[in-house]
């Protein structure tokens, strides 16, 4: 069941970064794009007015809590289990993990959906006492209940996709369903259909509904035998002399094992080298020179470090209000732009219109 693979520090740990970056970069987009769409929704809500922004903040916090409480946790567990089964060269295990995860998350989401519907006038009071904001948030909670049904499926199936090493598929699904379909539909419902913040969430519901359907089709129609082969190719594992056998707990407790199981357990599987490559693979592929490898890794670290330093300098040194100005934003969505704070302060002291607006400083 386990193989000792770590042989302390070796220069080979600097090799083959491309393989892992091909998994990490799509996975980064897959996760961040799902969260960024809600930040865009907060920006759109801020344009609608202070009341809409407050209600959007409440709904967003509730959705984030529910997502991290159930779908994210089940998705992570599914990702780990799928990875374990693929590493054990089992094509049956991921199928059962997918089915059990989807059924579990759907049943676990029912109490939250009921709570959103029947306690929708009580939950917003945990965040604010403004009756206008509570009313708008209460009207959004039933839409959030619909959203939660499909978002739970998306969170779980995305974990299965990550466990199978298909992060690029998840990133493509997220971009198409949320950014190409969901967000544009929501913005059109806000500004063209004039249904307010509800339009944004109905657009997101449409996007996450399509996303859940695609995820289910992909997960249940995956060729897991092919995924096992792909996983073995990624880790370049040695072929074991026999398959991994799973014993029942009662068999292990009683100490009764078959002759075949004792033979399998007695096998001492030791990698031929640190990364499990065969000698013929090492001879056929010429590794890059140490100087070239060192230069490429130093260049990568320098680019990432310089990106961080430049971003920090821009954040600390640039005065964004000098480029974009300051604004006086009204509840009806209109605003007045000023060149600087002095002009805004003068308007505040001389005009009665300032009492009805919110100051926005970039």
DSSP labels, 305-319: HHHHHHHHHHHHH--
Q: Which of 215, 212, 222, 185 is nearest to 200 (CA)?
A: 185
The pair of three-digit structure tokens given for residue 37, joined into one six-digit string: 């769409």
The answer to whether residues 47 and 195 belong to one domain is yes
12 within 8 A of 288, measured Cβ to Cβ:
no
The answer to whether residues 60 and 46 belong to one domain is yes
Give the per-residue SS3 of 97-126: HHHHHHHHHHHHHHHHHHHHHHCCCCHHHH
What is the C-alpha separation between 339 and 347, in angstroms, rounded?
12
Q: Is 237 domain-assigned?
A: no
179-235: per-residue pLDDT in tens? 999 999 999 999 898 898 999 999 999 999 999 999 999 999 989 999 888 888 877
What is the C-alpha separation between 76 and 341, in angstroms, rounded?
48
The answer to whether residues 68 and 145 belong to one domain is yes
Q: What does the DSSP 8-state code read for residue 246?
A: P
Which of 17-31, 81-95, 232-246 shows the lowest mean pLDDT across its residues? Answer: 232-246
105 within 8 A of 156, measured Cβ to Cβ:
yes
Q: Which of 161, 266, 153 is nearest to 219 (CA)?
A: 161
Average pLDDT of the chain to the nearest whole number: 79
Looking at the 3D structure of the chain, how many domains does it have?
A: 3
244 within 8 A of 89, measured Cβ to Cβ:
yes
Q: Which of 128, 267, 154 is nearest to 218 (CA)?
A: 154
Q: Is 255 domain-assigned?
A: no
Q: Is 176 domain-assigned?
A: yes
The confidence score (pLDDT) of residue 317 equals: 81
The answer to whether residues 336 and 298 belong to one domain is no
The answer to whether residues 325 and 301 belong to one domain is no
The answer to whether residues 46 and 70 belong to one domain is yes
The confidence score (pLDDT) of residue 354 equals: 64
- Residue that is last in its domain, among 182, 206, 231: 231
Highest mean pLDDT among 28-32, 109-113, 238-242, 316-320: 109-113
Range of the domain at 293: 289-318
The answer to whether residues 127 and 37 belong to one domain is yes
What is the C-alpha separation between 228 and 250, in angstroms, rounded?
29
What is the C-alpha separation between 289 and 291, in angstroms, rounded?
5
The answer to whether residues 218 and 293 belong to one domain is no
What is the C-alpha separation between 116 and 59, in angstroms, rounded?
11
SS3 at position 208: helix
The answer to whether residues 43 and 188 belong to one domain is yes
> CA torsion sign, 123 to 179 to 36 to 24?
positive
The confidence score (pLDDT) of residue 69 equals: 85
- Residue that is last in its domain, among 206, 231, 256: 231
Q: What does the DSSP 8-state code read for residue 84?
A: H
- DSSP code per residue over 267-325: -----SSTT---HHHHHHSPPPPHHHHHHHHHHHHHHHHHHHHHHHHHHHH--HHHHH-
Q: Is 125 domain-assigned?
A: yes
pLDDT reading at 17 higher than 80: no
327 within 8 A of 336, measured Cβ to Cβ:
yes
The answer to whether residues 28 and 135 belong to one domain is yes
- Mean pLDDT, to the nearest integer, of 259-277? 41
Q: Which residues contact 128 (CB under 8 A, 6 or more apart)?
A: 54, 58, 134
Q: Is 272 domain-assigned?
A: no
The answer to whether residues 324 and 307 belong to one domain is no
Q: Is 153 domain-assigned?
A: yes
Using pLDDT thresholds of 50, 70 and 90, give the confidence band for residue 280.
very low
- Mean pLDDT, to the nearest integer, of 291-309? 85
19-61: per-residue pLDDT in tens? 778 888 888 888 888 888 888 888 888 888 888 889 999 999 9
The answer to whether residues 159 and 48 belong to one domain is yes
């Amino acid at each position: 069941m386990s193989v000792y693979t770590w042989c302390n520090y070796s220069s080979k740990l600097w090799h083959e970064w491309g393989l892992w970056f091909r998994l990490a970069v799509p996975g980064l987009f897959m996760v961040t794009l799902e969260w960024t769409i809600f930040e865009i929704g907060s920006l759109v809500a801020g344009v609608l007015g202070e009341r809409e922004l407050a209600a959007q903040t409440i709904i967003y916090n509730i959705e984030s809590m529910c997502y991290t409480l159930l779908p994210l946790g089940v998705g992570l567990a599914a990702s780990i289990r799928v990875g374990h089964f693929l590493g054990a060269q089992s094509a049956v295990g991921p199928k059962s993990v997918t089915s059990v995860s989807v059924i579990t998350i759907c049943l676990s989401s029912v109490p939250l959906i009921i709570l959103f519907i029947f306690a929708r006038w009580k939950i917003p009071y945990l965040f604010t006492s403004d009756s206008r904001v509570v009313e708008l948030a209460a009207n959004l909670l039933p839409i959030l209940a619909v959203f939660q049904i499909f978002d739970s499926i998306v969170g779980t199936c995305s974990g299965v996709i990550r466990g199978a090493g298909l992060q690029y598929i998840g990133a493509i699904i997220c971009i198409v369903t949320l950014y190409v379909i969901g967000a544009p539909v929501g913005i059109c419902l806000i500004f063209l259909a004039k249904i307010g913040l509800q339009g944004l969430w109905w657009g997101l519901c449409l996007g996450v509904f399509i996303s859940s359907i695609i995820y289910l089709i992909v997960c249940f129609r995956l060729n897991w035998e092919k995924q096992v082969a792909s996983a073995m190719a990624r880790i370049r594992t040695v072929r074991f002399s026999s398959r991994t056998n799973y014993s029942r707990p009662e068999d292990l407790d009683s100490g009764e094992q078959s002759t075949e199981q004792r033979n399998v357990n007695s096998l001492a599987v030791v990698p031929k080298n640190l990364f499990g490559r065969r000698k013929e693979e090492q001879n056929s592929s010429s590794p890059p020179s140490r100087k070239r490898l060192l230069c490429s890794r130093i260049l990568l670290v320098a680019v990432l470090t310089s990106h961080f330093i430049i971003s920090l300098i821009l954040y600390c040194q640039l005065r964004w209000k000098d480029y974009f100005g300051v604004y006086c934003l009204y509840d009806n969505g209109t605003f007045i732009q000023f060149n600087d704070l002095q002009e805004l302060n003068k308007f505040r002291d001389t005009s009665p219109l300032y009492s009805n607006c919110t100051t926005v400083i970039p």
